[in-house]
A and B are shown apart, each in its own frame.
Chain A
């Protein structure tokens, strides 16, 4: 397979947006439609072609779901390569494919493996998913085609040239197009036309197709009940819009007031977080209801996510106070032990939204960062965390269900030992010094400190001496320094000597022959 050199930006954008939209549609169980676009990778898209892409994108977005029909009609659009310099024309071939034909043709293409034909809908759904995976990998090399899978029967017409008149008979035009008004909407300089799309696509795909971690799944299920879950809101091509303007616009359409957290632009998108599932749901409904100044629809996508970094930091510092009390209460002075499990289930803690229940790691980090003065010396902990500062001397890892992320016990243990370098006992057994540091890399240099005097007496003596000495050295008659020396004192002097650069230095008379 050839190497992919880089999809042109407009195509990337279109694809990204369409793919996202398709994904969402699939998630929403709307009828899907399949459109396959084959494009030669060698050519440069002209303005008209860009416009065409844009039109298609709009068409996808403006699609209304049609009642389900038995037969699924698929449109294949193939763009002929124009070798001439003409930039105005675009040859398009339209042909209706049946599901079977599509599957065959798809299977022939290198990007998607052949799939036995089952029911049309299910099959294409599979293709849809698989197409993503393959799409990602193929786009990382030079792919000859990219495809978007949707199932719907509708077509575009006005883009066809006169050659396709007869095909046009069977096509219905749905979109209301004003060619002049929407010309070249993506004013992206050519220097930006590089692989952004690939990375973006990959993250989306990976998110979707990887097995979701249990926490994610749980969060999704609990969406409606749990407050305090975090959601990432993405606006494709949001980089075009001013932050205030965009947020205002969204708020106008949104049935509930929302507070955007960490608004930022990431590649082509505008992104922010919201904390509430209800808000996230309301924002999702805004999708497709807002328009920009050119009267183009703005999409909004909502995904569950972990709390944003700024919030995590906040949790650690501000909510540490809230955790101190239950931690103190759970501390067993006789045993000098703190059962972190019990801290987590402390009723006092549960009533406050410290985020500990949702994400115990946050709570752990927070509780372990409590200043030692506020908390008695901890000798054991039930959970490990990367952010901790306290150094427990003993740990019981066995009891803790969260210590199961590692493939085997020994990896688990060595990781624990790496994190808690002062551990003396683990699960009641002593740790050996060798086990403490699996790799050299975990050894850190002691922090460098300032002057060390030994005692205050010495300090005063030495400082006074040095002060006088250098005062004379710098400003006084240096002969006076002789008085500081013992009669039989030794003096040695280091002179930098560079054989390559034998410029005479004032100290050269000290060089021996």
Chain B
């Protein structure tokens, strides 16, 4: 069992990584959409308002179909995921909330969670393994 001190450091590290990651993610989404898929694992899955998208190719196509966006993140939460759950693969759960405006649509409140996992080769890079995005008012158009 990890010592409390280690745990705290571990969590802090995770959170810092997550914060950095989130700012990169939304900036890329807004300004360099075509580069967004670089942040995803090859076999990552995205569930976007109930629409499932799996694999880089599908993700590329999907992000292409989305109009240009303007994200504002109001809340960010992150937690390291217990190694028991991830077979010792360092994983962080990131939960965000805020508002988004897609071109041609009205503004929506959104909630998003990512599971970030560390890919150690060649360098330690955090990539999205799982992404779940939803408008808070997804039920109404």
Contact = CB atoms under 8 A, between A and B. Distances in A.
A429 interface: no
Given A443-B66, A443-B67, A486-B82, A452 B47 contact: yes
Nearest to B45: A454
Interface stretch (B36-44, B49-57, B118-126): B49-57
A445 B11 CA distance: 36
Interface residues of B, number: 33
Contacts of A451: 50
A1 interface: no
B88 interface: no
B50 A452 contact: yes
A464 interface: no
Interface string B75-112: 10111101010000000000101000011110000000
Nearest to B77: A492
Interface of A: 433, 440-441, 443-452, 486, 488-490, 492, 494
Contact of A440 (B48, B62, B103, B141): B103
A446 B49 contact: yes
A446 B51 contact: yes
B138 A448 contact: yes
A494 B65 CA distance: 32
Contacts of B84: 486
A450 to B, nearest CB: 5
B28 interface: no
B1 interface: yes
A488 B3 CA distance: 11
B50 A488 contact: no
Contacts of B52: 452
B49 A449 contact: yes
Given A452-B52, A489-B82, A445 B47 contact: no
B50 A449 contact: yes
A447 B48 CA distance: 10
29 contacts: A440-B68, A441-B67, A441-B103, A443-B66, A443-B67, A443-B103, A444-B67, A444-B104, A445-B67, A445-B102, A445-B105, A446-B48, A446-B49, A446-B51, A446-B65, A448-B50, A448-B51, A448-B134, A448-B138, A448-B139, A449-B50, A452-B51, A488-B1, A488-B2, A488-B82, A490-B11, A490-B79, A492-B95, A494-B77
A506 B34 CA distance: 45
B1 A440 contact: no
B79 A449 contact: no
A486 B67 CA distance: 41
B135 to A, nearest CB: 6
Contacts, number: 61
Choose among B52, B67, B139 the residue with the greatest number of A CB atoms under 10 Å from its CB: B67
Nearest to B140: A448
Given A441-B104, A443-B66, A494-B75, A449 B51 contact: yes
Given A440-B67, A443-B66, A488-B82, A448 B97 contact: no
**B50, B77, B79, B135 pick with most chain A CB within 10 angstroms:** B50
Contacts of B82: 486, 488-490
B141 to A, nearest CB: 8
Residue from the set A440, A441, A448, A489 with the largest chain B CB neighbour count within 10 Å: A448
A512 to B, nearest CB: 14
Among A440, A450, A451, A452, find the residue whose CB has the most chain B CB atoms closer than 10 A.
A452
A443 B66 CA distance: 6
Contacts of B11: 490
Contacts of A452: 47, 50-52
A448 to B, nearest CB: 4
Contacts of B95: 492
Contacts of B103: 440-441, 443
A454 to B, nearest CB: 8
Contact of B97 (A433, A445, A488, A494): A494
A494 B98 CA distance: 13
Nearest to B1: A488
Contacts of A446: 48-49, 51, 62, 65-66
Contacts of B65: 443, 446
A448 B105 CA distance: 13
A492 B49 contact: no
Contact of B104 (A433, A440, A488): A440
B55 to A, nearest CB: 15
Nearest to B102: A445
A272 B134 CA distance: 48
Closest 10 interchain pairs by CB?
A: A449-B50, A448-B49, A448-B138, A443-B67, A490-B79, A440-B103, A492-B77, A452-B47, A446-B51, A441-B104
A498 to B, nearest CB: 12
Contacts of B68: 440
A510 to B, nearest CB: 13
A448 B50 CA distance: 6
Contacts of B104: 440-441, 443-444
A273 to B, nearest CB: 33
B40 to A, nearest CB: 18
A492 B48 CA distance: 23
A391 to B, nearest CB: 13
A443 B33 CA distance: 14
Given A448-B49, A449-B50, 4 more contacts: A443-B65, A447-B49, A448-B135, A450-B50
A444 to B, nearest CB: 7
A449 B84 CA distance: 32
B23 to A, nearest CB: 18
A285 to B, nearest CB: 50
Contacts of B97: 494
A343 to B, nearest CB: 31
A445 B67 CA distance: 7
A369 to B, nearest CB: 21
A438 to B, nearest CB: 14
Contacts of B79: 490, 492
